[in-house]
Structure 1
Amino acid sequence: MTSPLFIREALPEDAAAVWAVQQAAFLPLAPRLPSRPTALREDEAYWRQHLERVPRRTVVVHVDGELVAAGRVDGAMPQGELKRIAVHPSWQSRGVGRRLVEALEAHARELGFVRLRAGTRKRLPDNQAFYERLGYRVVALEPYPPGIDDHTVWMEKDL
């Protein structure tokens, strides 16, 4: 990557761009899964409300002034959960996702979290491999909601 990344906490005015990145990142996964990703049900209004209601929990990545990735930390102390890790497809496999998660981990430590969990679908082995490269370890496998032929792979990392 030749352009520098700028990483910061998300603001309510980022809602449209966060939503757009999330849609771009999650939509290509839909054909590979037996159920539509729940992230695709969220809209710009949802993100605006989330960013107003839970400040300091979402991080965004900019390249050349464009918001290209976003993710957040949910949960209660001492364990948080990485949620909605989304990198625009044109920026995937270029180190942006790694930098996003590293920034979220640092941010989570500042907020007082001591451990993070990440969940991914078993049918998305590249996602599991991504988290494993970042030091996450598989701690559980649980069936996805009843009636859906899939599983959630839960991973954790101590901060």
Structure 2
Amino acid sequence: MAETEIRRAVPADAAAIAALTRAAYEKWIPVIGRAPKPMTADYDLAVREHLIDLLFAEGALVALVECIHEPDHLLIENLAVDPAQQGRGYGRRMLGHAEALARELGFTELRLYTNKLFAENVAFYRKQGYRLDAESAFKGGFIVHMSRRV
């Protein structure tokens, strides 16, 4: 197993965060007919306003989780894994990291949302114990809202 390290992002990481996110979400463009929301985010701003933690394996950025501190829960805004590194447990590791962060911050619930058409993502979150709470319309499609007690 590769040696790994998780650390909090700093402003100098914004370009690498954007590049990893673009690579991770690019496969969904043909599915929904547009760039998914995380591909269009301003990561120069997000790295200052959100909690973004980065996972490095052998010194290379392989995954990230971006969380937003809400009044009564921690929201996962973005979970991304380098496509060349998928299937190695990095997504599960960063999801577990977000759950530990939520507990550390005093939250009992972690929430996230994803496009309903991202079936493998929905299945991944359900397998990790997240429940489907609601659906809402978004840009001609639907978003599923999910949560898990931590």
Task: Give the TM-score normalised by the residue count of structure 2.
Answer: 0.92
Aligned equivalent of 1:33: 32
Alignment map for 1:14-25 (pairs within 5 Å): 14-25=13-24
- After superposition, where does 1:81-120 map in structure 2 within 5 Å? 81-120=75-114
Q: Which of the numbers 102, 118, 122 marks the counterpart of 1:128?
A: 122
Contact residue 73 and residue 102 of structure 2 kept, 8 A: no
1:35 Cα offset (Å)? 3.4
Q: Percent identity?
A: 32
SS in 2 for 1:113: coil
Query: How many angstroms does 1:136 deviate by?
Result: 0.5
Q: TM-score, normalised by structure 1?
A: 0.87
What is the deviation of 1:144? 2.1
2:111 is paired with a residue of what secondary structure?
A: strand
Q: Find the residue that maps to 1:135 and give its secondary structure.
A: coil
Aligned-pair CA distance for 1:17: 1.2
Tell me if structure 2 keeps the 8 A contact 1:122–1:153. yes
1:79 is aligned to 2:78: no
Write the distance in 1 (CA, Å) between the matches of 2:16 and 2:142: 30
| Structure 1: segments with no counterpart, 5+ residues | none
CA distance in 2, matches of 1:67, 1:36: 22
Matches within 5 A, 1:33-72: 33-42=32-41, 46-54=42-50, 57-72=51-66
- Per-residue CA deviation, residues 63-112 of structure 1 (Å, 9 max, x unaligned), is 11011111211141321211111111001121000001111111122122
Q: CA RMSD in A?
A: 1.5
The one-letter code of the counterpart of 1:136 is Y
